[in-house]
Structure 1
Amino acid sequence: MSRPTTQQRWFSLIMRAIWRARPGAVAILILSACSAQARLPEVDYTKLRITLTRSACFGTCPDYRLVIRGDGLVEFSTQEQAVDGVAHRHRQNSAAAFVRVTGKHFARIDRAQIDALLQQFREGNFFALKGEYRASVTDSPTYVVSIDTGNGAKRVIDYVGREVGMPQAVTDIENAIDATAGSRRWIEGTAEVIPLLQAEGTRFDGPVGAQLMLAAAARGDLDMMARLQHLGVAPDASDPLEIAAAREQPTALSWLLDHGAGKRQSDLRNALRAAIQSDSQGSYDVIRARVDPAAITSDAATVMLRMAAGNGNAAMVAWLLTLHPEVDGYDQATAQKTALFEAASGSCSDDRAKAKCDRAGVVRMLLDAGADPVLTRSDYRQSVLQFVGDANVARMLLKAGADPNYRDDDGEPVIFSIDDEATALALIDAGMKLNAVRPADKMTLRGWARYQKWLHVLALLRRAGL
């Protein structure tokens, strides 16, 4: 018999010492060591099952389940039983599965792909993980990963698990299952799903085909759109037209119009609205060339005017003003304010929008068209100066008659909605009272200026003895 190594002798001495002091601790150490080194049980491919469930959330989370079997069969399904109470509540409040191809569908993968996936489970030490990682948050999806090798099974629940110490390996395994199964083709309705559906005998002249045309239009996938038309999908539905307009896919939009879409002026009008709302200039140009301006009612033009003004799109606003909208129109049901308020209070934040965002120009056009420079005309009376972040726009509104001392329904002076110092100075130059106080918490202008770090305003207040 070989003699014990030095390391083994030291380990034996340490364990004896621990045993004398606390016998129960030895068992805990042994169990911990075993857990830390838990291996993937031997795989029986005839019984192997790997599953991934992703649940609904209070949003647009895809809700589906994947099963990968040892013989390479992949099963994708929606509307399976909810994994837990949280997932059940989310599903009850979710309008859809947010999956393009719903139901139960199948595909096949090869042994090499299964083995690569099993290796991820080994490297992630999956069988040593806790059974549940659940953060104390709401509104998020529940993910469940499980594996049954035929000689041992393990399930891990991930509810925003990374926030409570869940290893990155779990997320990596979840993503690897998706990638191996090819779940994207069902979730997003990509072209790769078509042959699978054909093999299942799916008819494309129904809801499935309509969803796939919608998905292809959103991506601007002309090849897929043409293929779907060949399979019997009529391209004249209104939904693909609207989504292509909203996603700024002018080429797809033109293809749809050339193949029968947009025969009804109402469809063109809805697509135009989608393009304006998403500030999709290319889509807007395509639709505007086809729509009959006489088919756009004053009410529809009013809604679109607010959208275009909110985006600071001067070209769209200029055209919409020719359609005789109600310049001061607002929608109490959707809490939309007047076009002037939307233009004045917004910002050109992302780089893509900045190139075509001209808020000052839009404000000037609306004032010239007779927009009220005082109130938003909303159910909650606010000044058009509320939330303005551009001093030039503020000066324009003040010159037109906006009140620098306006108070809303709660008695709050408009200055307390401003966070730009140059705009604040414009209000002060126009006669704003320096002794303004916010009723809710008695904050003075000095307190607000200190909070906003307005050095010039603070200096001005010192000189005024305030």
Structure 2
Amino acid sequence: MVERFRAAGFFSLADKYEATVTDSPTYEVSIKIGDAVKTVTDYIGQSVGMPATVTAIEVAIDRAAKVERWISGTDETMPMLRAANWDFRSRQAADVLACSATGAPGWLVSEMLAAGVPTNGTCDDHSAVENAAYAARAGAFKVLVEAGGAEGASQRSRNNFLISGIMWCEPDLVAAALTLKPDLEVSSEPDFIPPLGLALGACEARESDGRDKTIRILRLLIAAGIDLNRRFADGGTIAFNRSDAASVKALVAVGADINLRNTFGRTPLLSAKSEDAAIALIEAGADTTARSNSGQSVLDYARENQWSKVVQILERQP
């Protein structure tokens, strides 16, 4: 460890490396050699010139001290708390649980609850179940809900749990949130996107394949009572105006009707916003002979949008 400090030229470093952002942890690293003492304060320091060797020192110190036991928890955490005669039923324990919910695995939260830790603690003015939901800790959220941690939660909070699960693209969190009877008509703020649309967008951004978790969440929402083919004011559905192939494929996989017509006689294919989405619809069996009320054909629509691949597909059809 001393060699790491020497290699970093620790005594010649600035005293502080502080970025102008908020809500991140601060590290203070100190070393004393004889009468010489040096402390370096790191607040996202690498973004403002702090050498990477200082970060390496911090990581090495954390590993040596096994701080993971007190950050996200390990199999050593509970035995050490018991050995210290920690009062699992205290308010302090409840508050620790609330803070731990942002990073602790579900099994550790379950063990803490089994040891008698109350669920009514707070951390940063949020309850344990709120912190678990907003940090996308699906396992912790589920066991907290099962332990009654969401009893008394407002309807707004229950709605937010669902929205959080969808935005994090976490099917298990969504499933647990749905047991709390959120309002299925809720929409995200401030953009007012309903659950189905939110799932398509959020999961596409978070999934490498853009489909598996999307499909799981869509199925959960449908099973809870959301109508996949519900019509909007213009007669269209969630399948209309799609701009990407992944969302089309996900909707088809869960049973979306891709040949419904809106009040203008348009189908999802005649409202597609990209060539990829149009091709995905055609491959899924969309009606390529459909015409809008104004008489526009699918081929006309493809030519208007300069979708050469779609034009070729349609011109090859009998």
TM interval, shorter chain, is 0.5 to 0.7
Equivalent residue number for residue 328 of structure 1: 185
Instruction: Give CA-to-partner distance per residue, 1:188-239, whole Å, 9 cap, x none.
Output: 6x7739xxxxxxxxxxxxxxxxxx8xx745321464576578498974244x
Could you tell me which residue of structure 1 aligns to residue 38 of structure 2? 75
How far apart are the structure 2 equivalents of 1:399 and 1:241? Answer: 47
For residue 272 of structure 1, report the CA deviation from its aligned partner: 3.3
| Cα distance in 2, alignment partners of residues 75 and 406 from structure 1 | 69
For residues 72-120 of structure 1, the C-alpha deviation after alignment (integer angstroms, 9 at most, x for no partner) is 84533449xxxxxxxxxxxxxxxxx479xxxxxxxxxxxxxxxxxxxxx
Q: Map of 1:292-311 to 2, 5 A cutoff?
A: 294-310=151-167
Q: 1:459 Cα shift?
A: 1.6
In structure 1, stretches of 5+ residues that fail to align are: 1-47, 80-96, 100-139, 145-173, 194-211, 377-381, 408-412, 438-442
Distance 1:422 1:216, change over 3 A: farther
- Normalising by structure 2, we get a TM-score of 0.61
Instruction: Say if 1:276 and 1:304, in contact at 8 Å, map to a contact too.
Output: yes
Contact 2:120 2:128 in 1 (8 A): no
The answer as to 2:180 corresponding to 1:218 is: no
What is the CA-CA distance between 1:184 and the residue it aligns to? 4.1
How far apart, CA to CA, are the structure 1 residues paired with 2:98 and 2:275? 37
TM-score after normalising by structure 1: 0.45
> Residue 183 of structure 1 aligns to a residue in which SS?
helix
> Number of aligned pairs?
280
In 1, the alpha carbon distance for the partners of 2:144 and 2:271 equals 40
One-letter amino acid of the structure 1 residue matched with residue 220 of structure 2: V
Q: Secondary structure at the match of 1:295?
A: coil
Say what the alpha-carbon RMSD is for the aligned residues.
5.0
1:54 aligns with 2:17: yes
**Contact 1:54/1:143 (CA < 8 Å) preserved in 2?**
yes
Does the residue aligned with 1:141 lie in a helix, a strand or coil?
A: helix
Alignment of 1:202-217 (within 5 A): 216-217=69-70
**Structure 2: 5+ residue stretches without partners:** 1-9
Does 1:250 find its partner at 2:212?
A: no
Q: Return the alpha-carbon distance in structure 2 between the equivalents of residues 402 and 77 of structure 1.
A: 65
Structure 1 counterpart of 2:12, one-letter code: I
State whether residues 57 and 141 of structure 1, in contact with CA within 8 Å, keep that contact through their aligned partners in structure 2: no
Tell whether the 8 Å contact from 1:265 to 1:292 is kept in structure 2 after alignment. Answer: no
Alpha-carbon distance between aligned partners in 2 of 1:65 and 1:315, rounded to the nearest angstrom? 37
Question: Are 1:358 and 2:264 an aligned pair?
Answer: no
Q: In the alignment, what sits opposite 1:460?
A: 313
CA distance in structure 2 between the aligned counterparts of 1:400 and 1:298, rounded to whole angstroms: 36
Q: 2: distance between equivalents of 1:313 and 1:220?
A: 21
Check the 8 A contact 1:241/1:261 in 2, yes or no. Answer: yes
Kept in 1, the 8 Å contact 2:98–2:119? The answer is no
Larger Rg belongs to: 1
Q: How far has the Cα of 1:331 moved from its partner?
A: 3.5
Say if 2:136 and 2:165, in contact at 8 Å, map to a contact too.
Answer: yes
| 1:416 has 2:289 as partner | no
Instruction: For 1:75 and 1:315, locate their aligned partners in 2 and report how far apart those are by CA, in whole Å.
Output: 47
Q: Compared with structure 1, are the counterparts of its residues 76 and 373 closer, same or farther at alpha carbon in structure 2 (3 Å cutoff)?
A: farther
- SS of the aligned residue for 1:76 comes to strand
Give 3-state SS (helix, strand or coil) of 1:54's partner. strand
What percentage of aligned pairs have identical amino acids?
Answer: 14
Q: Report the Cα offset of residue 328 of structure 1.
A: 1.6
SS of residue paired to 2:186: coil
**Residue in structure 2 matching 1:349, options 203, 207, 214:** 207
CA-CA distance at 1:307 after TM superposition: 3.1
Aligned match of 2:58: 183
CA distance in 2: counterparts of 1:406 and 1:58, whole angstroms: 47
Q: Call closer, same or farther: CA 1:191–1:255 in 2, change over 3 Å.
A: farther
Distance in 2 (CA, whole Å) between partners of 1:344 and 1:258 is: 37
Is 1:384 matched up with 2:238? yes
